[in-house]
Amino acid sequence: MALLLLTLPLAGCDWHFDDRTTLEKIRDRGVLRVGTLNNQLSYYIGPNGPTGLDYDLAKRFADKLGVKLEMTPTYTLSGLFPALERGDVDIIAAGLTITPQRLDAFRPGPAYYFVSQQVVYKNGHWRPRDVDDFNRDDAVMAVVEGSSHDLTLQSLKQAHPALSWQVVQDADDDELLKQVANGDIDFTIADSVDIALIQRTHPDITVAMELSEDEPVAWFMKKQGDSSVYALMVEFFGDLAQSGELTILEEKYFGHVDQFDYVDTRAFLRAIESKLPKWEPLFKKYANEFDWRLLAALSYQESHWNPRAISPTGVRGMMMLTLPTAKSVGVRNRLDPEQSIKGGALYLQRVLERVPDSVNPHERIWFALASYNIGFGHMMDARRLTEAQGANPNSWSDVKKRLPMLAKRQYYTQTRYGYARGYEALSYVENIRRYYQSILGYEKAHIEALDNEQVEDLGGLQTIVAPAPEQESETVTDTDETSPQSDANQQQQ
């Protein structure tokens, strides 16, 4: 009788058990909600709208699900996992490593790249040689609370009881790296890729030591619930790896930062402030479909923005054009900066148009820049050599490994156009990519570039909505490196 009385009030309620899978709920909702961090690698607003490695991956995953993408970035790590626990987001895609603590509480997806933890200090500050140096002379070590770096220090403290550090909640790794560069704190710990990227705008950041072996980076989901989304995520990353698209994306965002030159980077940042403002209007005027910043980076590689630059081989001007190349693009005076920039951009466009359509659109510009430096024929030789060795001739990460082989007899004797200084072409292209990254980073640090028409403020978080596949807009989905841009020095060859 008591049981009957308890059940009677429910008889008139419109209540039902929701037996849909997580994947079905997302598809019925029509939106994949992704939590991320607002930084230079995972997600930010670039010159052409939303960009970043995790943004690109999340957009592709949403397309696979047939839904819109809703990116909800935060500026600090502390808000991410609580949002996942509350159900405010479906997954976290923020370049986070798999730690034992995160593994206990959440479900990681497949690893999509690896990083190591590194201790950094400011150039000119004394270098910590071991863990016991972290607090020497009252030095301050600071890390983000709850980060993998905080957990590493907690583990180290077991063997070093005197070890102490500050934990911060209202900052992210990038902010702490900048505080090291400014001398506000002595040391911090960050992931190797993040350090390599931020050194393009803060070259005083110096690596002291490695604290870990390579650690896997993955997306995260709730542990509870079914495996419908997780199974699709495993398939998604497997397909990306098999097709080579994952390698292409990683090359796009951090394939060019494996080399760092402190003196050159410092000089370039000074030139951005002192020289670039004078020439920026001309780069913008003649860039056409290119990003003017890449055209500027190309010009700096060629002449260091010196309109009267002359090389011993006879190339000259802002874009260092040869005489035949200058004539082919209508340049009468190579030392005239406007003529040189206009001609260099036109020549670059011509070279770009010759790059095979089979090359990924994001990477055609790097092939064009290599052609600009060593000539189109030699670039094609590098592609043929790549294919002959069983690698992908349409992948820049594969072809750039073969460019230096063009200077080695056992390889160039097998090519159509023979010897070429391919190692110079490789350095040439990667330098331009690094200069381009520095210009973007400089602008990001000095200009508030959030477009209020694209950004809706929800609960203190900025939520960016990208359309579903059938509604896709090029403006929203294309990233900063999608637009074509190329070089103009070896054009002449």
What SS3 state is found at 40?
A: coil
Give 444's DSSP letter. Answer: H
Residue 85 known to be catalytic: no
Q: How many CB atoms lie within 10 A of CB 139?
A: 15
Contact 223, 109 (CB under 8 A): no
Half-sphere CA count of 266, side-chain side, radius 13 A: 8
The C-alpha atoms of residue 53 and residue 32 are separated, in whole angstroms, by 17
Q: How far is CA 246 from CA 196, 361, 425, 478, in A?
A: 20, 14, 24, 16
The C-alpha atoms of residue 94 and residue 137 are separated, in whole angstroms, by 35
Q: Active site residue: 302, 363, 430, 481, which one?
A: 302
The C-alpha atoms of residue 382 and residue 366 are separated, in whole angstroms, by 13
Buried b (16+ CB within 10 A) or exposed e, 76-110: bbbbbbebbeeeebbbbbbbbbbbeebeeebbbbb
Q: What is the largest CA-CA distance in the chain?
A: 103
The C-alpha atoms of residue 439 and residue 420 are separated, in whole angstroms, by 30
Give 492's DSSP letter. Answer: G
Q: How many CB atoms lie within 10 A of CB 307?
A: 20
| Two structure tokens written together for 12 | 């008139």
- The residues pairing with 33 across neighbouring beta strands, listed in sequence order, are 70
Phi-psi region of 95 (alpha: psi -120 to 50; beta: other; left: phi over 0): left
Half-sphere CA count of 154, side-chain side, radius 13 A: 13
Strands 31-37 and 68-74: parallel
Using the structure block, give the residue that is written with the tokens 């998604």: 236
Catalytic positions, written as ranges: 302
